[in-house]
Chain A
Amino acid sequence: AQSVTQPDIHITVSEGASLELRCNYSYGATPYLFWYVQSPGQGLQLLLKYFSGDTLVQGIKGFEAEFKRSQSSFNLRKPSVHWSDAAEYFCAGNNSGGSNYKLTFGKGTLLTVNP
């Protein structure tokens, strides 16, 4: 079955430190992959997405993600975290073929930023 796994439930980093949030996927073919951020009381906001081509994807708010087919991973990175980045982050995927509208989400990683 198709799945997206986020191994880390909760991560704490200091402001200014680098960040990497892990995401692994299991799909028959290369899926489309997404990272969303959810702040309290807010809807999910798309940070970036990967469909094909360049495996290093740039997103909003200084985030980037790298697609690694050999590791079935799509990890999210940011070189220097700001306090406003504290939120819950969701990795999601969908089929690149049929039913490609149906997003499958990981369980999320809660990011805490210490001053």
Chain B
Amino acid sequence: GAGVSQTPSNKVTEKGKYVELRCDPISGHTALYWYRQSLGQGPEFLIYFQGTGAADDSGLPNDRFFAVRPEGSVSTLKIQRTERGDSAVYLCASSLMAGVETQYFGPGTRLLVL
């Protein structure tokens, strides 16, 4: 079956601009996660959704970052007033449920802020 998909695969933007990154989870997966992977680092947790609600957004670095999942499926990560330090690969994952279920990762969106 189809895996987790993310669009766009690459995004180049200018400092100060607004960007949206989209994630389509595996059909039927109720849990969805966003991670950020900076160069030379492992992925770092940003936010976790159970259904439509953000159950844990403790990893979001500041209030410029926001994510939604209005219908419990597709999620959008939104970054306002982008900064050069936001440049990274943004990974989305989904799992059947939260907890011990395996998280399946998408290919990521590579964001470059000039």
Q: Please list the residues of chain A having a beta carbon within 8 angstroms of any beta carbon in chain B.
A: 4, 32, 36, 41-46, 49, 51, 90, 92, 99-108
Given A99-B56, A102-B48, A103-B43: A46 touches B107 (CB 8 Å cut-off): no
User: Chain B nearest CB: distance from A58 CB in Å?
Assistant: 15
When the two chains form their complex, are residues A105 and B44 in contact, meaning their CB atoms are under 8 A apart? yes
Given A32-B100, A100-B100: A107 touches B31 (CB 8 Å cut-off): no
User: Chain A nearest CB: distance from B32 CB in Å?
Assistant: 10
Given A51-B100, A90-B42: A43 touches B48 (CB 8 Å cut-off): no
Who on chain A is nearest to B31 by CB?
A: A101
For chain B, give the interface size range: 20 to 34
A102's partner among B56, B100, B108 (CB-CB below 8 A) is: B56
Who on chain A is nearest to B41 by CB?
A: A107
Q: With the chains together, A45 CA to B108 CA distance in Å?
A: 12
Who on chain A is nearest to B108 by CB?
A: A43
Q: With the chains together, A83 CA to B32 CA distance in Å?
A: 33
When the two chains form their complex, are residues A44 and B91 in contact, meaning their CB atoms are under 8 A apart? yes
User: Chain B nearest CB: distance from A44 CB in Å?
Assistant: 4
Give the residue among A44, A51, A107 with the most B Cβ atoms within 10 A.
A44
Give the residue among B44, B98, B105 with the most A Cβ atoms within 10 A.
B105
User: Chain B nearest CB: distance from A34 CB in Å?
Assistant: 8
B85 close to A (CB within 8 Å): no
